[in-house]
Amino acid sequence: MSESAASSERQPLMDPKQSATVSSHYGATADDTENAYGAAGLGGAHHAAQDGDLITRSEAQNLKRGLAQRHLSMLGIAGAIGTGLFLSLGSAIQTAGPLGALLGYAVIGLVVCAVQFALGEVAALLPVTGSFVRHAEFLVDPALGFAVGWNLVYGNILSIPAEITAICVLFQFWTDITPVVWIVIFIVLTSAVGFAFIRVFGEIEFTFAMLKILLVVFLIILGLVINLGGIPGTERIGFRYWHDPGPFVELLPIASGDWGRFLGFWSVMTGAVFSFAGVESLAMAAAEARNPRRAIPKACKRVFARIVIFYMLAVLIVGMLVASDDERLGDDSGTAATSPFVLAASAAGIPAIASVVNAVVITSAWSASNQSLLSGTRVLYGLALKGQAPKIFLRTTSWGTPYVCVGLFSLFMLLSFMSLSDGAYTAFWWLVDLTAAGVLISWSTILFNHLRLKMALRKQGIDPSRLPWHNSWTIYSSAIALPMCILILLTGGFTTFCEGQWDTATFISSYLDIPLVLGAYLIWKFVKKTKLVSLDSIPLIDALEQAEQYPDEPEPKAHSAWKVISWIWD
């Protein structure tokens, strides 16, 4: 085992193999124990120690670059295509109608586009462990990085046992074997992936993503065949359900008429956000990616296009297959029986589809737990680099895994056993609900980081074209998507404020994460006396010079055998 360098050894690197002189913008060198990026790591007294840094010596020397561009692309796809697509689309159709659900997912798809491009532009300049958490320290305020970072750690720690619990429910579709067996198996498997080489994680997620994509394509084609009457003994459906019961659904008993239909559409967007959750995880391990300045932007661009296409087609097909007033859509068993694709296939005389969907959803849940482990441990490692978490979390194995971080997360996987007790199970899900709104907080942080970067470039008179990846229109997309994310966050639980509709669990899942993050921000700001980083003092010149002096190597072209399917990630 090797232990990462202490915070006093954290100098920005111009190259993973060589330390060089930091720009004379601050007159500091790589030998300084405190430099322009805040080597003291604790939000020191002067602005130079505001905790924003480039790649540190610790992550460059102790983490291994084992993720290729295809891994990053498929990581984003695997994170976004999961139970939300396979099981929850029926609920969206039931709530908003086929057109309302399609419009809701389209709006969130555009927000995801803005988030992905914003993340890609900033991460290409600053490819660091912890991604947008560290970007917030560099571009906004160390206190923001602390608050968002620990919120992500907390959320990911709880999401892993939540996914393992979901796996137990999914296996009940086939067998009555005690859930203890599945809990133990998947705790061991998830921990093993966490402790393994980062390349092992990349290949596993690559495989899971391929399975998900193949299933989505298969279900879309099957749904279209069923809809057009291509299965013997079935009639053509077409857009029948768009006419009766109609394209929109009123959100009764809260409201009726046009206002009720609008609220039905609006209520779908919160669910759509959580369906797309995970697309931002592809940059979390940027310091462990090969050629990150080239690979991350490429992955962000590719992932957005593929995911939106898959989701839009899936929502469209589901809205054509199942009527919004179908009572079976309200089944909350949590297995493949709730999937609208399964309902349509069963009606067409193909019951085996249920087992196929259930099997892939199990891999989706395990994939989600793996991604939570990667994201959470890398954020925790990044917090430790900045002195915002104990230094023991900087320890890594000889093959580059932050084993203390993984060990902590593995310990919390034991919370899965709370699902065996009704009272403990309820308490556990209350804990999970506390960070349910964390996705929108993370997206808002990504967009705000990007706006700060663009504003700093303008303030310092730097041409944005000097960025490793630049799009002229993203300043506008981020400016529109940020208030949209905040609006959805603030209205996510609007139904609880309507007369007779109060639900404590919904209120907690919708809003309690907001004061948690604000409280963490204010506490760190008060204790460490951090300040908002001024736009003209963000050391962008240093970051740009590093990117220009050590550009990424060109990606090798795909072998001819891969070209048939490599369009998915390349």
pLDDT of 205 reads 86
The rounded Cα 285 to chain-centroid distance in angstroms is 12
Q: Which amino acid is at 336?
A: A
Q: How confident is the model at residue 557, as a pLDDT?
A: 64
Write out the two tokens for 14. Answer: 């111009």
Query: What pTM value is reported for the model?
Result: 0.86
pLDDT at 302: 78
The pLDDT value given to residue 40: 30
How much is the pLDDT for 562?
A: 59
- Bridge partners of 285, per DSSP, are 129
Q: What tens digit of pLDDT does each residue of 503-541 get?
A: 888 888 889 899 999 999 999 999 999 999 999 999 999
State whether the Cα torsion 231-234-236-239 is positive or negative: negative
| Confidence (pLDDT) at 71 | 83
Paired strand residues for 396: 2
Q: What residue ranges do the domains of the chain occupy?
A: 2-568
Q: How far apart are CA 312 and CA 85, in angstroms?
A: 10
Buried b (16+ CB within 10 A) or exposed e, 25-53: ebebebeeebbbbbbbbbbbeeebbbbbb
Q: Where are the alpha helices (DSSP H) in 397-473?
A: 403-412, 422-433, 438-459
β-strand partners of 129: 285
- Neighbouring CB atoms inside 10 A of 235's CB total 9
Element (H, E) at 396: strand 395-396
Whole-number pLDDT of residue 326: 86
Query: What residues pair up with 2 in beta bridges, in sequence order?
Result: 396
Which residues are CB-contacts of 505 (< 8 A; sequence separation ≥ 6)? Answer: 429, 430, 433
d(CA 530, CA 513): 22
How far CA 124 is from CA of 54, 144, 342, 458, 469, in Å, comes to 11, 21, 41, 18, 6
Q: Half-sphere exposure of residue 299, counting CA atoms within 13 Å on the CB side? A: 34
Rounded CA separation 145/161 (Å): 25
Torsion of CA 80, 468, 535, 52, to 10 degrees: 70
Weakly modelled stretches of the chain, pLDDT under 70 = 1-57, 60, 330-335, 550-570
> Residue 26 has what pLDDT?
25
* Distance set, CA 141 to CA 28, 130, 323, 474, 514 (Å): 21, 15, 49, 22, 18
Q: 2-568: CATH homologous superfamily?
A: Amino acid/polyamine transporter I (1.20.1740.10)
Whole-number pLDDT of residue 311: 83
Q: How far does CA 318 lie from the centroid of its chain?
A: 24
Residue 539 one-letter amino acid: P
